[in-house]
Amino acid sequence: MIKSAVTISLVKEAEGGPFVFWHDLAAGCVKAAKLGYDAVEVFAPNADAIPVADLKALTAECGLKVAAVGTGGGWVIHKWHLCQPDAASRDNAKNFIRSIINAGAQLGAPAIIGSMQGRFEGEVSKEQALCWLREALDELGEHAKLVGVPLIYEPLNRYESNLLNRADETVAFLGTLDTDNVVILADLFHMNIEEANIAEGLSTYGSHIGHVHFVDSNRRPAGCGHMDYTPIAAALKTIGYDKYASAEAFPWPNSDAAAKATIGAFNQHLA
Ligand SMILES: [Mn+2]
């Protein structure tokens, strides 16, 4: 059975971004629980800003899990990513991600590599960038395995990364990894831009999918754009997807309404 989750961002620098609840873990958890969500996904500025013990107590009290933790703070705040030309920045990116993996693991939550994958540009060729991405996913994937969680890699749309945008190329790339601990985040907003057919893209990912960002075509909450969820839900059912569908969407028209809209669409299509 697919489980529901909703995002909470604690990152001041990310304001305006696609996160439903903002700046208050306790308030977000209480609202998520009241609406019937199974879990929260937490986007923090760094690992130290994830209050592991408090969040454990808070989610237990609310009957929630932590679905995943984001690593994008390393990009949004420090402008580090895994494909920068200088080794020091790449190391900073890896260390930042590793620390988030460790914090998330204490909550049973895998970390997501989205914007931290970066892009190729300038002196860095695509081949070189994919080589660095492969090395980082192998290293961090094995590290995540040691602490008992998968590592989630999120292909982005062409306006956010030029590395891997579609399911077919991503699955081919996964086949070149040494680690078996990297799973895919299927973000319906990115897929809507890049895939000829979203349901077919989900089928191409198949059992590689470890997380879904459940959102509409315009990055508003599910049900507030023109996404057709019927074939999407059918594809997820066919591949036996049973992890989280997480609301990573703009807080449109506001946080409470976005959370309510998403859980309504979840119950209609995915529950
Ligand atoms: Mn996403």
| Structural domains in the chain plus CATH codes | 3-269 (3.20.20.150)
- Taking the centre of ligand 1 as the mean of its atom positions, its distance from the CA of residue 213, in whole angstroms, is 5
Catalytic position from the list 41, 194, 195, 248: 248
Active-site residue flag, 248: yes
For 88: left if phi > 0, alpha if psi spans -120 to 50, otherwise beta; the answer is alpha
DSSP secondary structure letter of residue 11: -
The fraction of the chain above a pLDDT of 90, given in percent, is 100
Catalytic position from the list 121, 142, 154, 194: 154
Burial of 253-266, coded b for 16+ CB within 10 Å and e otherwise, reads: eebeebbebbbebb
- Taking the centre of ligand 1 as the mean of its atom positions, its distance from the CA of residue 248, in whole angstroms, is 6
Active-site residue flag, 123: no
C-alpha–C-alpha distance, residues 70 and 47, integer Å: 10
pLDDT attached to residue 186: 99
Asked if 45 and 108 touch (Cβ cutoff 8 Å), the reply is no
* 64 — pLDDT class (breaks 50, 70, 90): very high
Residues in CB range of 33: below 8 A, 6 or more apart? 62, 63, 64
- Taking the centre of ligand 1 as the mean of its atom positions, its distance from the CA of residue 70, in whole angstroms, is 10
pLDDT attached to residue 237: 98
* 85 — pLDDT class (breaks 50, 70, 90): very high
- Over residues 194-200, the mean pLDDT reads 98
- Taking the centre of ligand 1 as the mean of its atom positions, its distance from the CA of residue 93, in whole angstroms, is 19
* 83 — pLDDT class (breaks 50, 70, 90): very high
Place of tokens 């070149």: 176
- Taking the centre of ligand 1 as the mean of its atom positions, its distance from the CA of residue 90, in whole angstroms, is 22
- Taking the centre of ligand 1 as the mean of its atom positions, its distance from the CA of residue 185, in whole angstroms, is 7
The fraction of the chain above a pLDDT of 70, given in percent, is 100
C-alpha–C-alpha distance, residues 113 and 98, integer Å: 11
Question: How many residues does the structure list for the chain?
Answer: 271
DSSP secondary structure letter of residue 23: S
* 235 — pLDDT class (breaks 50, 70, 90): very high
* 113 — pLDDT class (breaks 50, 70, 90): very high
